[in-house]
Structure 1
């Protein structure tokens, strides 16, 4: 049932709309007209892309927000360089491949890690290109659920958009738990390195998660205006740290035979099939690229978003992807005995490899500290992204207590309540770690499946419009005649990954070692469908309704 716009509450359509294109004479925001961000596309149309204000961004941003029927509530603090830095830090691919190498080493060995990562990098190139095009068509914090609402067939727009919104919330909320947990594990590994008698307790791991979350809360509230600068500084460490880690591994590490590194596939978990084991191990490499659409969720805080965001997404894929692959190859050359690394008493495979390579606890600590700092601020960026995604979905009445979560602090210009609820969710989720760290990792791993599903549905919708020769929205990042082929390859790749996202790490697992992602995934889907039937279908009409009302 379509709800009249006036009954939707927070998204009540603006009666006083801003002009589609503001000329210099109409610039009433007291911003010097010399501040011009020229755009060749708009220039060709005779519409100069002029800066309107710090909050509203450029005239192109104003036009995009008006078309989507949204009110500009956050400040557009991010520029082209800073959003690129934000995206690169949030993925931290070379750091992530080291942290998740255990999955591929156990399932596939060194060759499985190297070639599995390469396959995922190429496959995600098609996925990210598809998402980047949609981010240019509709540059909104809503991301996937908004795109589904605009591109899905009218008969299922509202329901599919609603479900994808919940998948996005689930994926980004668990991402914060994942990053904070892995960061805490590295801290515990350093403690064991310097004090071998130390036996980690579950409550200590949980407290480390909370400590990382405290840093995230601080930078997403009190220092929120300086977040672009902070992430810009951290991306310098991200690039410099890559060389600081890889050069010692090249110079000091013992070399494994080249033929073994690139061609020795192993089934260390007992699947009975090396190809199957290698495909199961792809999940670790795939997780390094999940979250690649983060820039899209920050679009309402980026100046000239339709042009800048998709390019930041693509450059992040190229830069981070190549650094990750070089690091994966280097790591595999330095692993040596795979089983001894997998069974390290430190509980962190990369720290063990650092120790083996440098031959000193101090050297291993120095390399690990670089990863720790980047990991903490990657979690800060994840927290910012998931709070914006939750804010956008609440703005469209997609979650309970939407009126609370959709509020933006007028002083800080960020959705504080969404930040708070994300912190609370991860705090509660981390309590699972008190009972079983294995169960905690399995629960938070469902975020990968949720994000893959949201990508899959979004790209299917735009591919279907292309197949039906239906017009698409104008885009300043256009895939052109190759669009359908790119979309189809992306869909096939995502379906392949999604199947193995629900596999356990080893065959015939005990109850504690089961991959509970399928259960968590199902519970969230059932709850969201139940809430949709009881409440959602009466208050959620989908972003496309606001688009129609604004036209």
Structure 2
């Protein structure tokens, strides 16, 4: 007897297909979405509540480029100067356009998450149907057949590590910037690391609760915060341009600073993380693919639109900021501040008002808090997907989808506890905590390199690819984009291991031990 459709839960793709009812619903999406999930050998378990505009908003808020750039600018100001800050940002923006274009091409051909349908070849792993292996293969299946399983597993772990650390890294920025505001307004306040850690835990707690109980409101809230993100941009930019004392253009665009490396070019490259951190995260849309309607069409466009929009906003903000930040060589640099954040001092210098500076800083901090919340959403989905393919310990628990919420609650809770525990490192040493953040960045860079290398190999060896709806990925332009991305990423990867200062200024606490930690994890 034919099994009836479930009346308690929304029907799955398999149920719909078996009854000849493969139609568009809130859960399964379009016919293309159904086809993609079947081709991957996966069952739809979550509702597709996002479409293009909310997903673009999701990616833009997760990146929060102009807000993150303000806090991260200290990295490049002391390694490259104001001119180095601007040029390195432009280079990174162009580089990430190539990276995300390549990743968008892969996502478009899959219609699902890069790491969601990979046969890992480890015990109890659910292999994809044989028919799916016979034709075009997904993600690491762009790789040579003999390396597919090992690369799948390696890239899955790199992605998991990178995104889990990204949540705590963003929450940490929000927490310590709140402390910076306290210092600005209350000079007697003592900047304690454990205060910052408690604020970090508060931020990730908010993210966890929101992603459990208000997840269905996420598309609406992302659009709402996009409006806030754009309005806040002008609320910060206009006072900087109107009230700030601006440096001459010649100084802004030609004044490089050597942080002690005896080479301005090397010093500027050491500051490359400033340009990387604000532009990370456009590929987050891929991890939300099973909650995205018409994913194969929407996914690449969401990635590229968010990179273009955020990159442009970030560049405009940093140009204005570099005009008012102060002159290094004359000792008026705003980074000599007890707040710990140069941009907070710049806002105060520009406005001459504690209230005005606090309002401008509040815009930045509020967006970063919701950025952390958005990041927890994509991080938990990535963890769920990797666990579903038996790539994690306790995979069955992590891959469980709560039938009431239709969400991977266990993966969300794990991400919260991982972040909360990791934040405790800051109590002992902020330097050690920052090293962990560097490990997350290089993990993501390496995962991008492997994925794009596999895609390029498939093109150059003329292996079959799925029909593409993404024109920039086709022909010689697509190959050139992939090559450029693979030239850019190794530079970021290498300089992510550099310490902020060379000898003799370099002391043990400022050593970058990320290479040791990353090597041991690998």
TM-score scaled by structure 2? 0.90
Q: Does 1:343 align with 2:343?
A: no
What are the within-5 Å matches in structure 2 for residues 3-402 of structure 1?
Answer: 16=14, 18-19=16-17, 26-27=20-21, 52-143=24-115, 146=118, 147-267=138-258, 269-338=259-328, 340-402=333-395
Residue 480 of structure 1 is matched in structure 2 by: 474
Quote the Cα distance in structure 2 between the aligned partners of 1:465 and 1:259: 47
Tell whether the 8 Å contact from 2:344 to 2:357 is kept in structure 1 after alignment: yes
Pairing partner for 2:496 from 494, 501, 517: 501
Residue 420 of structure 1 is matched in structure 2 by: 413
* Secondary structure, counterpart of 2:24 in structure 1: strand
Quote the Cα distance in structure 1 between the aligned partners of 2:14 and 2:246: 67
Number of positions where the alignment pairs a residue of Structure 1 with one of Structure 2: 485
Deviation at 1:17, TM superposition (A): 6.8
Q: 1:145 to 1:259 in 2, by over 3 A?
A: farther
Tell whether the 8 Å contact from 2:61 to 2:225 is kept in structure 1 after alignment: yes
Quote the Cα distance in structure 2 between the aligned partners of 1:244 and 1:256: 21
Pairing partner for 2:397 from 389, 397, 404: 404
Residue 430 of structure 1 is matched in structure 2 by: 423
Residue 514 of structure 2 is matched in structure 1 by: 517
Cα deviations across residues 241-268 of structure 1 (Å, max 9, x unaligned)? 111110111110001010000111101x
* Secondary structure, counterpart of 1:57 in structure 2: coil
Cα deviations across residues 117-141 of structure 1 (Å, max 9, x unaligned)? 0001011111110000111111223
* Secondary structure, counterpart of 2:272 in structure 1: helix
Deviation at 1:236, TM superposition (A): 0.7
* Secondary structure, counterpart of 2:271 in structure 1: helix
* Secondary structure, counterpart of 2:169 in structure 1: helix
Quote the Cα distance in structure 2 between the aligned partners of 1:357 and 1:170: 40
Deviation at 1:109, TM superposition (A): 0.4
Deviation at 1:480, TM superposition (A): 1.2
Deviation at 1:27, TM superposition (A): 4.3
Q: Does 1:468 align with 2:461?
A: yes
Quote the Cα distance in structure 2 between the aligned partners of 1:384 and 1:188: 26
Cα deviations across residues 6-48 of structure 1 (Å, max 9, x unaligned)? xxxxxxxx9957549x9xxx547xxxxxxxxxxxxxxxxxxxx
Q: Does 1:451 align with 2:448?
A: no
Quote the Cα distance in structure 1 between the aligned partners of 2:219 and 2:14: 31
Quote the Cα distance in structure 1 between the aligned partners of 2:466 and 2:15: 21
Tell whether the 8 Å contact from 2:80 to 2:264 is kept in structure 1 after alignment: yes
Q: 1:292 to 1:135 in 2, by over 3 A?
A: same
Quote the Cα distance in structure 1 between the aligned partners of 2:327 and 2:254: 15
Deviation at 1:202, TM superposition (A): 1.3
TM-score scaled by structure 1? 0.86
Quote the Cα distance in structure 2 between the aligned partners of 1:230 and 1:404: 29
Tell whether the 8 Å contact from 1:144 to 1:168 is kept in structure 2 after alignment: no
Please report the RMSD computed on the Cα atoms of aligned residues, expressed in angstroms.
1.7
Quote the Cα distance in structure 1 between the aligned partners of 2:25 and 2:322: 50
Deviation at 1:474, TM superposition (A): 2.2
**Runs of at least 5 residues in structure 1 that lack an aligned partner in the other structure:** 1-13, 29-50, 526-551
Residue 535 of structure 1 is matched in structure 2 by: none
Residue 492 of structure 1 is matched in structure 2 by: 487
* Secondary structure, counterpart of 1:341 in structure 2: coil
Tell whether the 8 Å contact from 1:141 to 1:388 is kept in structure 2 after alignment: no
* Secondary structure, counterpart of 1:485 in structure 2: helix
Which has the higher mean CA deviation after the structures are superposed, 297-306 or 195-204?
Answer: 195-204
Tell whether the 8 Å contact from 2:107 to 2:113 is kept in structure 1 after alignment: no
* Secondary structure, counterpart of 2:334 in structure 1: helix
Tell whether the 8 Å contact from 2:114 to 2:139 is kept in structure 1 after alignment: no
Tell whether the 8 Å contact from 2:446 to 2:493 is kept in structure 1 after alignment: yes
**Runs of at least 5 residues in structure 2 that lack an aligned partner in the other structure:** 1-11, 119-137
- The list of structure 1 runs, each at least 4 consecutive aligned residues, that deviate by more than 6 angstroms after superposition, is none
Tell whether the 8 Å contact from 2:112 to 2:296 is kept in structure 1 after alignment: no
